[in-house]
Structure 1
Amino acid sequence: MVTDTLGLLLAVEVTPANTGDRDGAVGLLPLLRRLHRDITLLWADGAYTGRIVQWAREELDLTLDIVKGASQRTGFTVPPRRWVAERTFAWLMNSRHLARDYETLPENSEAVIRWSMVTRMSRRLARPPAAGRH
């Protein structure tokens, strides 16, 4: 799953549980590139280190900026933007259908994730603006 800086879904690909993050990214990043040509920088966690960074730069013209984990920092610092994807996962878990894995096909799981995000965004667009916001 790839989100923007607000945590809104940009691309999703469901893979089997035995597929690692880097292997899944090989299918997801070209999809992101086709859907959103203007995106050039992605923040990723330490699971995406290694050859995938160079591959993304050379093949897709994408820069993968690896956010350092807590063990690689000194003192208390908030990791930049790492919480965005986690917040999106929390939003998705509010969808009752996604709280359990009911789907048998990856395509169906992807559709349910997209539908959950459509529901979330339509609610956000439909609510009245908060006081003091324009």
Structure 2
Amino acid sequence: MMNDAVFFIVLLILCEIFESWWQHAPTLGGVLEKVRHYYHIDIFVLLLMHPSFWLVLFIFLYQGGRGTLLSLILVMKAADLAFKLWMVRKIDEGALSAEFRGMLSVPLSPWMPWINVVIYPALLAMALTG
């Protein structure tokens, strides 16, 4: 079981690095533009560009669908993806307020796009070893 946990944690780290790499931008608006690009190619391409979601879903099912922390990670990953999709739709509709559009141009901290590489694997480690 410990070998499985280490394997899944390392795999999740690699998935999170990939996601942070392709989404990396100086502002939230830049991140959403990258997401929007893949969304307009095809929604399934965008979903495939989030391998950590699919990995966490697999781990959740592999563990028998039990575990509060695994459920939390899955809900957080799903909410992140749903929020991005919602934001892209609102941008396409032109339904964002001027204040909100202004927030999209605020610079992100250099560590902000990479925090998922630490948080999700740490939560997964706690879920699989606890």
Fold agreement, TM-score > 0.5 = no
Structure with more of its chain in helix, by fraction: 2
Structure with more of its chain in strand, by fraction: 1
